[in-house]
């Protein structure tokens, strides 16, 4: 609910459990007043105190009032060069050469439903689902208007923000920084939580106190990256899963980004998040506009679990798009780890046949089916079937797979090219490269200049020919290197600072075209595993391959970290063979199944090599997944332990709406002789319901299971796992 107090110029955004307030002050600066637990119908500006602070300048309007300084006031969108020395949200290079920005309130308006951004991903909401407030700030000297969009999704405690700049002057201005989010706190006794890692180990949680000065994470790789995720949290020092104030900030962007927190001299904190300023400079001609990507904030006064559950529900309903918000996605088998590049049509059909027999519904043909692609040094860019491997082409292969009762999916890496390809030989100037400098390779490949429409059109035409040649239900859209040598032949020297961002806009453009032309094709995002796992991609690709690491034990950490923001239905997760391809570990098949099942489930192994007993188990896993699909994907998700804190077991739980059903998942660590007896305290159940344990028949009250806990069985061997399905009875 948006509440306006026009007389006092106060804007209050209420969600079910939270309140966000801003107020225009006596000098027309938009101050950030409050964000936290819901407080109804109050002017909270008394919370903001100011007094004279040496070396903090006073704006001209303040005259002799030395108590007022932008340097210490909490602001809604911080400026630069005119008195606030903390993290800026906006930096402009004005025609005279100065780097300043100064913003004052001009007005507001309301819009029905959730605002939409042109060419960028965003949450969506109809009139009865979301509200929009637009607050207008202006820099009268620069003649720049800053439109600040707020989307309020009350039921989800979700507030989205986006920024649009308009050059209202007659001269060209350069935008050197335009953050998507600025969030000021009048305290600094806070922790910062970030999700970090590398290829094969993404989104590991790191937590530490906000310290004096600036701390930041980000990416200058042109992708959101394996190294840091564009989702961060700020919380009370003692906040945990069930208690304490926490704030999530998610940037819906798939390119270079920065999330920085500054704890300033008077122990205030500021979080600024947006496109990374490295090599970013956008030329804004008169009447030109620039839109910064969206951010989505969820505040939870009751700990991390509640915040995550709100994100999960909001992402499912308002970020993913029809038909993949709630429709059950097929269980898939992918041939990559089974064959790598070494396959032919018979081999693929064999895998598909085995899979169909086990209840698997979609066969995905991974890398190696096109051009001269027999290893990873050639073929990218030539999206035509390799007739040596697949003599009958897709026209012959796809019907064979479909005759088995399966859908067919295909791997593509549209943004890339190998030098050994017809595309590169014909268009060597279509890549990102700096004149006079030989470009760096990554995985032996170069990056196509997706900021250029002609390049994108050519790739799209090739993709369309493939998609129209057979009945294809799924695309794995891969992207296997970071961007370097970022320079485009399509832009003049003075506009090269736009290429990183235009590249991302180009990727979104192509994905949107695919979505419009083939709305029923399920696209799974991938970037060497989870190198581009972000809210921007999720708008176009409702599931993303979580990591190239398929080891179930490593996956516990990766999926745990990912779950803080992103719902399980978005996390591509597969059962693979043992010893694991990435780390050589042996884990039981049950453990691999249970871990992958809390994701967009599939298999990635040569099923023909499985024993009859293994096949029986796989059939059973697939049945269990299908049976509990709604509970796993629509249920409330509870983390019961952290793999970063306790390696003896990792547990998580899904609880249905109405609390009638729950699925508890437990993966034990390395075995020890005579281990201690443990109980696991469950969450989210109804204390007065009686729950029966499936397969055992024992009955416990919800209160008992949450207070004293469920006794964990002792199983021999390393990394055993089990699921407990609970159903309310009586
Ligand atoms: C990336 C993906 C893998 C696989 C290979 C194929 O590494 O993450 O799943 O598709 O590419 O080359």
DSSP one-letter string for 663-686: EEEEEE-S--SSPPP-EE---S--
CB 463 within 8 A of CB 352: no
Best probe residue, ligand 1, of 226, 480, 555, 572 (max atoms within 8 Å of C-beta): 480
Q: How far is the CA of 644 from the centre of ligand 1 (A)?
A: 27
> Taking the mean position of all CA atoms in its chain, how far away is CA 560?
14
Check residue 181 and give its pLDDT. Answer: 98
Reply yes or no on whether the pLDDT at 41 is more than 80. no
Q: Is the CB of 535 under 6 A from ligand 1?
A: no
Count how many residues are written for the chain: 730
Going from the Cα of 380 to the center of ligand 1, the distance in angstroms, rounded, reads 13
Take atom 7 of ligand 1 and give the residue whose Cα is closest.
528
Of 625, 226, 674, the residue nearest 442 (C-alpha): 226
Q: Give yes or no for a contact between 171 and 34, defined as CB atoms under 8 angstroms apart.
A: no
Q: Is the pLDDT of residue 429 over 80?
A: yes
Tell me what the mean pLDDT of segment 126-150 comes to.
97
Residues with a known catalytic role: 534, 614
> Residue 273 Cα, ligand 1 centroid: separation in angstroms?
30
Q: What does the radius of gyration of the chain's CA atoms come to, in whole angstroms?
A: 27
The tens digit of pLDDT for each residue in 633-681 reads 999 999 999 999 988 999 999 999 999 999 999 999 999 999 999 999 9
- Which pairs count as long-range contacts for 387-392, CB under 8 Å and 24+ apart, including other chains? 389/343, 389/344, 389/345, 390/344, 390/345, 391/345, 392/345
Binding site membership of 105 for ligand 1 (Cβ less than 6 Å)? no
Does 336 sit in the ligand 1 pocket, CB within 6 Å?
A: yes
* Beta carbon of 411 within 6 Å of any ligand 1 atom: yes
pLDDT tens string 386-399: 999 999 999 999 99
- CB within 8 Å of 64: residues ≥ 6 apart: none
- Burial (0-12, 13-18, 19+ Cβ within 10 Å), 17: middle
Answer yes or no: is the C-beta of 593 below 6 A from any ligand 1 atom. Answer: no
Mutational pocket test of ligand 1: of 200, 366, 524, the residue with most ligand atoms within 8 Å of the beta carbon: 366
480 lines ligand 1 (CB under 6 A): yes
Nearest to 273 by CA among 338, 317, 229, 320: 229
Token digits of residue 658: 């109405």
Distance in angstroms between the alpha carbons of the first and the last residue of the chain: 39
Å from CA of 526 to ligand 1 middle: 8
Atom number, ligand 1, closest to the C-alpha of residue 476: 10
Residues 351-376: tens digit of each pLDDT:
999 999 999 999 999 999 999 999 99
Q: What is the pLDDT of residues 60-109, one digit of tens each?
A: 999 999 999 999 999 999 999 999 999 999 999 999 999 999 999 999 99
Please report how the helices 589-597 and 552-562 are oriented relative to each other, as an axis angle in degrees rounded to 10.
10
Q: How far is the CA of 478 from the centre of ligand 1 (A)?
A: 7
For residue 548, report the distance from its CA to the centre of ligand 1, in Å: 7
Residue 485's CB is within 10 A of a number of other CB atoms, namely 15
Q: Two tokens at 485?
A: 């040598």
- Confirm or reject: Cβ of 654 under 6 Å from ligand 1: no
């Amino acid at each position: 609910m948006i509440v306006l107090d026009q007389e006092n110029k106060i804007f209050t955004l209420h969600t079910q459990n939270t309140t966000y307030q801003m107020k225009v002050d006596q000098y027309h600066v938009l101050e950030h007043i409050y964000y936290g637990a819901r407080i109804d119908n109050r002017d909270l500006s008394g919370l903001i105190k100011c007094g004279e602070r040496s070396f903090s300048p006073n704006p001209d309007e303040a005259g002799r009032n030395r108590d007022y300084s932008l340097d210490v006031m909490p602001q809604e969108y911080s400026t630069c060069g005119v008195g606030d020395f903390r993290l800026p949200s906006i930096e402009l290079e004005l025609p005279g050469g100065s780097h300043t920005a100064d913003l004052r309130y001009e007005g507001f308006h309301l819009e029905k439903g959730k605002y939409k951004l042109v060419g960028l991903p965003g949450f969506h909401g109809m009139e009865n689902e979301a509200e929009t407030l637009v607050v207008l700030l202006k820099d009268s000297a620069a003649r720049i208007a800053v439109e600040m969009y707020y989307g309020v999704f009350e039921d989800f405690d979700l507030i989205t923000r986006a920024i649009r700049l308009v050059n209202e002057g007659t001269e060209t201005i350069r935008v050197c920084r335009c953050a998507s989010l600025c969030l000021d706190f009048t305290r600094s006794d806070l922790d910062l939580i970030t999700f970090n890692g590398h290829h094969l180990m993404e989104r590991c949680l790191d937590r530490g106190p906000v310290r004096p000065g600036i701390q930041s994470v980000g990416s200058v790789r042109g992708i959101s990256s394996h190294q840091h995720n564009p989702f961060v949290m700020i919380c009370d020092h003692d906040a945990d899963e069930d208690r304490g104030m926490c704030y999530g900030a998610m940037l819906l962007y798939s390119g270079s980004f920065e999330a920085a927190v500054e704890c300033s001299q008077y122990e205030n904190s500021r979080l600024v998040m947006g496109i990374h300023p490295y090599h970013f400079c956008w030329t804004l001609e008169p009447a030109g506009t620039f839109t910064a990507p969206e951010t989505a904030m969820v505040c939870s006064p009751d700990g991390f679990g509640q915040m995550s559950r709100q994100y999960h529900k909001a992402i499912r309903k308002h970020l993913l798009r029809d038909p993949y918000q709630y429709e059950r996605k097929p269980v898939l088998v992918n041939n990559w780890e089974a064959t790598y590049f070494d396959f032919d049509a018979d081999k693929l059909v064999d895998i598909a046949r085995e899979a169909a027999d086990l209840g698997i519904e979609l066969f995905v043909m991974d890398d190696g089916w096109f051009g001269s692609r027999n290893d990873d040094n050639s073929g990218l860019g030539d999206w035509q079937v390799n007739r040596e491997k697949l003599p009958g082409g897709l026209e012959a292969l796809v019907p064979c797979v479909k005759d088995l009762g399966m859908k067919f999916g295909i791997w593509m890496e549209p943004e890339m090219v190998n030098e050994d390809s017809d595309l590169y030989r014909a268009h060597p100037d279509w890549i990102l490269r700096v004149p006079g400098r030989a470009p760096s390779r990554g995985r032996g490949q170069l990056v196509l200049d997706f900021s250029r429409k002609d390049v994108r059109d050519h790739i799209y035409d090739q993709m369309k020919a493939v998609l129209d040649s057979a009945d294809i239900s799924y695309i794995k859209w891969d992207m296997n290197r970071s961007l370097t040598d970022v320079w485009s032949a399509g832009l003049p020297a003075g506009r090269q600072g736009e290429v990183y961002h235009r590249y991302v806009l180009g990727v979104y453009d192509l994905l949107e075209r695919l979505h419009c032309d083939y709305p029923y094709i399920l696209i799974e995002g991938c970037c060497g595993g989870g190198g581009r796992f972000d809210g921007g991609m999720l708008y176009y690709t409702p599931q993303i391959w979580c990591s190239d690491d398929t080891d179930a034990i490593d996956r516990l950490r990766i999926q745990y970290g990912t779950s803080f923001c992103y719902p399980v239905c978005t996390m591509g997760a597969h059962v693979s063979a043992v010893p694991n391809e990435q780390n050589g570990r042996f884990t039981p098949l049950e453990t691999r199944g249970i871990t992958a099942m809390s994701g967009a489930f599939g298999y990635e192994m040569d099923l023909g090599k499985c024993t009859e007993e293994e096949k029986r188990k796989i059939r059973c896993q697939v049945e269990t997944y299908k049976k509990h699909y709604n509970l796993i994907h629509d249920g409330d998700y509870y983390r019961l332990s952290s793999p970063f804190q306790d390696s003896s077991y990792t547990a998580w739980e899904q609880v249905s709406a109405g609390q009638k059903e729950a699925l508890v998942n437990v993966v034990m660590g390395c075995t020890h002789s005579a281990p201690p007896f443990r109980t696991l305290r469950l969450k989210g159940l109804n204390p007065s319901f009686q729950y029966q344990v499936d397969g055992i028949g024992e009955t416990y009250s919800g209160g008992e299971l949450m207070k004293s806990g469920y006794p964990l069985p002792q199983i021999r061997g390393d990394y055993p796992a089990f699921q407990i399905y609970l159903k309310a009875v009586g």
